[in-house]
Amino acid sequence: MECSKRTLFFTRDSRPRVYSAVRCHQAGSCSEQICANLRANGTLEELQYSEKYPGYSGCERSCGGLACGCFFPIPACSFYRVAHVPRNTDVYEVMDCLEWKPSVNISLQLTLFNRVVSKQLILLPYVTQKFEEIEFTAISVHKPALPILHRRFAVSETNALSIPEGCKLLVECPSATTALSNFKSCANRMICACIGTSPPTRCDCPNENIWDIEADQSNKLPTITPFSETFVYGSSIVTTTQEAEVTVKIESKLLLDSGHYTLDQECKVSVTNVTGCYDCQEGATIFISCLTEIDAWLTIKCGAHTFPVECGAKSMQSKIVLDYDQAIVEEKCTATCKGQQVEFDLAGHLEYMPKHLKAASFENNEDFTWHQKLDWFSDIKRS
């Protein structure tokens, strides 16, 4: 299935930083009503160097007088700006999918008069394809209910991510050019809770930037689960799955006298231990080898899982990905060969893969502060 994308906005990988300045009463921008009147997008001469980044400004009253380095015994102004500082120059296009356009990949093998012909066909719904005087038409495709089909995606020239449900992303730009060359004009979607006012010493911010999303490996494309694989192909996002229900109409103009026979042959099946994780996106993996005299497909049932494997004279090996909700796997598997039921054991110990979430806070330990101890000298000069 191919994503019919709709571009929502553009963004960049950034991190929140606090720029701050404390000014005494009547020094610089500090006046009696400045904190009440300062807007989130307001500009201050003390924080000019932070205005090249999107963010928001704020003001809190702090102590004044000689004990606080000011001349007037009037509360000073603690200005701050929480800004998004880019980590790199990558620009991400954020998109969702209006539709997932289906296509059906089928493998054909036709035997006529001891002549074997093989071919791969990609069928689009209601579009007929012809192969050796036989016509194939996919007349019904039921798409599976995969959670990733309802996600948004963030794609740059070097990286691709699926965005978790409910994640807003903190900066929105109208175009890629704006994101790269005029980042300060992009819309800020972040509000942090900061502690301390002269300047703020700790801020709790939403965990919704590109870096946080990428830190969770399950969000990175390609995303592989027991049921599907989602990846970037060229300029498109594609999801493949074997869980869909498809109806194919087959029409042939060949009129042949034919006889049908079924060959039920012996088989030899060997399986590795189950490895991987449980209750996780990646699932658990087994490798199954199947040996038969003539190429064939064998259906195997292991507990709640049923899947086909390819068999042949060269002992073909199939990789199967399964999902489990417990650590210990001990199951009986069955298959039918030459009219007899073949049994073998499937066992293994799976790992639990907890998600380590990054704390949504940072310490303001970088020096962005306007230093002005004894700033009251400039206050006296202005008097």
Q: What is the DSSP string of 225-262?
A: -SSEEEEEETTEEEEEES--EEEEEEEE----------
**pLDDT tops 90 at residue 91:** yes
Q: Find, among 76, 81, 80, the residue nearest to 378 by Cα.
A: 76
User: Quick check: bond before 354 cis, omega within 30?
Assistant: no
> What span, in angstroms and rounded, lies between the C-alpha atoms of 16 and 189?
12
Residue 373 has pLDDT above 70, yes or no: no
- The values of phi and psi at residue 286, to 5°, are -135, 155
Report pLDDT for 364: 52
Q: Over 50: is that where the pLDDT of 58 sits?
A: yes
Amino acid at 64: G
- The string of pLDDT tens digits covering residues 209-219 is 888 888 888 89
What are the C-alpha distances in Å from 301 to residues 294, 304, 310?
22, 7, 14
61-62-68 Cα angle (round to 5)? 150
**Mean pLDDT, rounded, for 109-122:** 80
Q: What is the pLDDT of residue 239?
A: 92
In this structure, the number of other CB atoms found within 10 A of the CB of residue 259 comes to 4
254's tokens = 């060949």
> Using only C-alpha atoms, what is the Rg of the chain?
32
> What pLDDT digit, counting tens, does each position of 242-268 carry?
878 888 888 887 655 555 555 678 888
Chain centroid to Cα 324, Å, comes to: 22
Residue scoring higher pLDDT (196 or 351): 351
Per-residue pLDDT at 381: 38
pLDDT above 90 for 31: no
* Residue appearing with tokens 């054909």: 108
Q: Residues of the chain with pLDDT > 70: what percent?
A: 87
Please tell me the predicted confidence (pLDDT) of residue 262. 57
Instruction: Return the domain boundaries, the chain.
Output: 13-94+176-211+359-382, 265-338
Q: Select the highest-mean-pLDDT range: 15-24, 41-50, 66-75, 79-88.
A: 79-88
How confident is the model at residue 200, as a pLDDT? 64
Q: How much is the pLDDT for 118?
A: 83
Whether 208 and 111 have beta carbons less than 8 Å apart is answered as no
Q: Give me the chain's average pLDDT, please.
A: 81
Architecture of the CATH domain 265-338: Sandwich (2.60)
∠ CA 269-273-276, nearest 5°, is 130
The yes-or-no verdict on residue 358 having pLDDT over 80 is no
Mean pLDDT of the 125-151 span? 85
Contact 364, 201 (CB under 8 A): yes
Residues 6+ apart with CB under 8 A from 219: 161, 162, 163, 164, 213
Tell me, what DSSP letter sits at residue 339?
T
What average pLDDT score do residues 300-313 get? 86
Q: What is the pLDDT of residue 349?
A: 92
